[in-house]
Each structure stands twice: as structure tokens, then as C-alpha cells.
Amino acid sequence: MEAVIVIDMINDFVYEKFGGEGAQAIIDNLRDFLKEAEEHDIDIIYVEDHHSKDDPELDVWGEHAMEGSKGSRRIDELKDIEGIEIKKRTFDAFYGTELEKILKNRDIDEVVLTGVSTDICVQNTAAGALYRGFDIIVLEDCTAAISKEKHNDALDYMEKVFGADVIGSQVLKNRWKNKR
């Protein structure tokens, strides 16, 4: 079984402090994909940066996605799509969270990674998934980085080093339809 993990589709990473055209460009694809996942009863898990003042990451990136701030909240375009919410404080969605426990309790053995940033939180979450024995799918049209080059380099790295299946969202939607 698989679950879709939506990484950092929050205001600070889409519209505000670290937002940009790349993150904004995937919203429609991601929304469409998540709606399809709902129709197939695929678990959706939102993992979102949620920092406190003492988080070491702030020394590198400055304040962002601070707990309770608008910047740490899921973007409006995805608020109506239900899912489990997990707050994270590092790049890897597994580190220091209940993500692994939730996945194992639901008999999930494959994760579908979406969101931002392909070369930071998505890539580090893929590493966390690999180390815990999960199969990995990364949706190239539902992930984004600050630049297309960083995005493509991260996809290539995850495919070659982590054995991730890097595909478009339509390919996975077709797989789901063929399983019916």
C-alpha cells in the first residue's frame, strides 16, 4: 500500500519568505493529483515545517515557518483536501516525528513524495524513507525547487542513489485506474 506525502506546501514556501514561481506552478497538478488520491482512498499526509525559536535550522535559513504563524500554515488551495497533519522541525519528515509509526500502523510500504523543495526537504525525506525500508515514488510534476536545475538534479539524485521511481502524476493516476 502507498501513501502520498505532501511536503511543505505552506505559505512561507509557496508565497512568502521562500516562495516562488516553481512552487506556485505545481499547485494545480498537486491539487488534481490529491483529489484523485482521495477518490482511490489513498492516505494523504501533510508534513509541514513548524519551527520554534531554538531550532538549529534557523541559524542557517533565518526565521521561517514559525509555529503559529501564517507562514507555517498549509496554502489555501489545499485546505479542503483532508489528510493527516504532521509538524516537522527538520528537512527530513521522518526525523523527530510520528511519520514512520503512522505509515507502519497503516501497512504502508511505499511513499509518494510531493511538495517543496525538491532538493532540500523532499530529497531528505526520500533519504529518511530509504533508511526505513519504504519504496519511494517522486512525482516530478508535483515537486519544485527554487530553480529548474536544482529540481532536476535532485530528481536525478533520488532516482540514482535512492532508487526512487521518478514519474509524472498522470503515470501514477493511470496505475491506480488499472488496479480497479
pLDDT band at residue 41 using 50, 70 and 90 as cut-offs: very high
Which helix or strand (DSSP H or E) is residue 171 part of? Answer: helix 169-179
- Identify the structural domains of the chain with CATH numbers, from first to last: 2-179 (3.40.50.850)
Q: Which of 54-63, 67-76, 87-96, 167-176 is the least confident region? A: 54-63
Q: Identify the pLDDT of residue 180.
A: 62
Digit-coded pLDDT (tens) for 112-171: 999 999 999 999 999 999 999 999 999 999 999 999 999 999 999 999 999 999 999 999
- Give 75's DSSP letter: P
- Give 74's DSSP letter: B
User: By C-alpha distance, which of 121, 144, 126, 111 is closest to 29?
Assistant: 144
Distance CA 118, CA 113 (A): 9
Q: Summarize the confidence of residues 61-75 as an average pLDDT.
A: 82
Cell output for 48: 509541514
Work out the mean pLDDT of the chain and round it to a whole number. Answer: 93
Pick the residue with more confidence: 114 or 180? 114
Q: Identify the pLDDT of residue 131.
A: 97
Task: State yes or no: pLDDT of 54 exceeds 90.
Answer: no
Q: Identify the pLDDT of residue 68.
A: 85
Give 111's strand partners: 3, 136
Q: Identify the pLDDT of residue 66.
A: 66
Digit-coded pLDDT (tens) for 87-120: 999 899 999 999 999 999 999 999 999 999 999 9
Pick the residue with more confidence: 83 or 178? 83
